[in-house]
Amino acid sequence: KQEVTQIPAALSVPEGENLVLNCSFTDSAIYNLQWFRQDPGKGLTSLLLIQSSQREQTSGRLNASLDKSSGRSTLYIAASQPGDSATYLCAVRPSTGGGNKLTFGTGTQLKVEL
Amino acid sequence: DTGVSQDPRHKITKRGQNVTFRCDPISEHNRLYWYRQTLGQGPEFLTYFQNEAQLEKSRLLSDRFSAERPKGSFSTLEIQRTEQGDSAMYLCASSLGQGLYEQYFGPGTRLTVT
């Protein structure tokens, strides 16, 4: 059974700092990995999707990397802003069976302070 | 493209009552997913449809839960004889197909069972 872990569970940083969020998964047989953002009481916003054949993806100040063989992904946020405050979730899709369902981690709650 | 929509956004019900939620996916998306998220946890997969066919159901989906997607458009999730443990955020997502297609999530329906 796939298990996804995110460390740290919570993080508080001053504005302008660069930061890294970590995601690890136990089964390396994945098709892709997605990073999401979730604001309190709201749905999920997709940030980046990395296919298993890719090493990284970039969007603006966000960069996600994937090391499938070691079961790890990182989300790098450059020059953090208060508006980045949210919970960040990673999710993996299995490459064998399982349709398209995603297995999620429990998230990292980020607070960027002025 | 108006995104994935869900109705209602919030539902408060008494234990033992039946509730029904609706999800309208992005119009050209043929896959539709339901997830459940409890406080402090990541979303957990419940079920998914390809067009009108329900292809997989999680063990989390007890006999009190039923989902439909008539005509392969909108979907409904019904919970019969609600229990306090059903209190959660119910999230709907859709995708264009399998493989490299991202899942796009709706805003969720927050259910509170008193």
Q: Which residues of A touch B42 (CB under 8 A)?
A: 4, 89, 91, 104-107
What integer pLDDT is reported at residue B4 of this predicted model? 96
The answer to whether the beta carbons of residues B113 and B14 sit under 8 Å apart is yes
Binding-site residues on chain B for chain A (CB distance < 8 A): 4, 6, 31, 33, 35, 40-45, 48, 55-56, 58, 89, 91, 93, 95, 98-108, 110
Which pLDDT tens digit goes with each residue over A10-51? 999 999 999 999 999 999 989 899 999 999 988 999 999 999
What integer pLDDT is reported at residue A98 of this predicted model? 58
What integer pLDDT is reported at residue A100 of this predicted model? 75
What integer pLDDT is reported at residue B45 of this predicted model? 94
Burial class (CB in 10 A: 0-12, 13-18, 19+), A60: exposed
What integer pLDDT is reported at residue B71 of this predicted model? 86
Nearest to A106 among B4, B42, B108 (CB): B42
d(C-alpha A88, C-alpha A106), whole Å: 9
Nearest to B108 among A43, A101, A107 (CB): A43
Query: What is the percent of chain A where pLDDT is above 70?
Result: 97
Report yes or no: A66 at the B interface, CB cutoff 8 Å.
no
Phi, then psi, of A111 in degrees rounded to 5? -125, 125
What integer pLDDT is reported at residue B100 of this predicted model? 64
Q: Which of A101, A108, A109 best tests the B interface by mutation, with the highest count of B CBs <10 A?
A: A101
Burial class (CB in 10 A: 0-12, 13-18, 19+), A10: exposed
Residue A110 in this model has a pLDDT that exceeds 90: yes
Mean pLDDT of chain A: 93
Instruction: Show the tokens assigned to B48.
Output: 């998914």
Q: Which of B90, B94, B103 best tests the A interface by mutation, with the highest count of A CBs <10 A?
A: B103
Confidence of residue A68 (pLDDT cuts 50, 70, 90): very high
Q: Cα A2 vs. chain centroid, distance in angstroms?
A: 16
What integer pLDDT is reported at residue B60 of this predicted model? 84
What integer pLDDT is reported at residue B90 of this predicted model? 98
Contact A43 B105 (CB under 8 A): yes
Burial class (CB in 10 A: 0-12, 13-18, 19+), A51: middle
Which pLDDT tens digit goes with each residue over B19-77? 999 999 999 899 999 999 999 899 999 999 999 999 989 988 889 999 999 988 999 99
What integer pLDDT is reported at residue A97 of this predicted model? 64
Q: Which of A4, A44, A45, A66 best tests the B interface by mutation, with the highest count of B CBs <10 A?
A: A44
Which pLDDT tens digit goes with each residue over B86-96? 999 999 999 98
Which pLDDT tens digit goes with each residue over A70-85? 999 999 999 999 999 9
Residue B1 in this model has a pLDDT that exceeds 60: no
Which pLDDT tens digit goes with each residue over A43-67? 999 999 999 999 999 999 999 999 9
Q: Which residues of B touch A97 (CB under 8 A)?
A: none
d(C-alpha B99, C-alpha B88), whole Å: 29
Report yes or no: A70 at the B interface, CB cutoff 8 Å.
no
Residue B102 in this model has a pLDDT that exceeds 90: no
